[in-house]
Amino acid sequence: PPVDPKAGDRIAKLLARAGVASRREIERMIEDRRIALNGVVLETPATILKSLKGITVDGKPVAPPETARLFRYNKPTGLLVAERDFTGRPTIYDKLPKELPRVVPVGRLDLNTEGLLLLTNDGGFKRQMELPSTGVERSYRARCFGEVSQDQLEELIHGVEIDGVQYGKIDANLERRTGRNGWVEMTLTEGKNREVR
């Protein structure tokens, strides 16, 4: 059920905002009886609080949340945008500087995609930036193979449906072509999974 903002927020949300861990991990920490309020171990993630006063994790008081910060990361190919991969593939967290605070990615880039990835220490800001209604434009350059014309790309401005998934407007331009290889620049505001592909 939605939380009344006057009553406060769920503890997992507050602790995630304070940079302790992700909401999911915090729920696991509560199950493992690692989080307490005024010395009393919490038993449910449905706990609603106005602040983190009196909250401890593993017996240590929780520091108040930092000011929201945004970091730029030039993601190379071959890294997953994930906290961990159970098959052992490298993630961005294996390569990020160790002195960074706990950060979360704003959106995702595929394993074989390189380029600008924004990171933030504020989960609420991350979600706001990712919402299509916020209107943040994302631009991509993609290599294509075959006969692709600017006229075909112009049609994407009205959106497109592929395999039953409806994609919003895409502003696409053919940058250059050499033989059957070309480069296309696309600007979109949704960033749905596999949309550029």
The set of catalytic residues is 110
What are the angstrom distances between the C-alpha of 180 and each of 98, 143, 147, 174? Answer: 43, 11, 6, 13
Of 34, 30, 61, 64, nearest to 50 (Cα)? 64
Three-state helix/strand/coil letters over 102-128: CCEEECCCCCCCCEEEEEECCHHHHHH
Amino acid (one-letter) located at 169: K
Alpha carbons 117 and 137: distance in angstroms, whole number = 13
Of 121, 151, 142, nearest to 185 (Cα)? 142
Residues composing the chain: 197
- Residue with tokens 């749905």, as numbered in its chain: 192
Amino acid (one-letter) located at 80: L
Pairing of strands 104-106, 115-120: antiparallel
Alpha carbons 122 and 68: distance in angstroms, whole number = 5
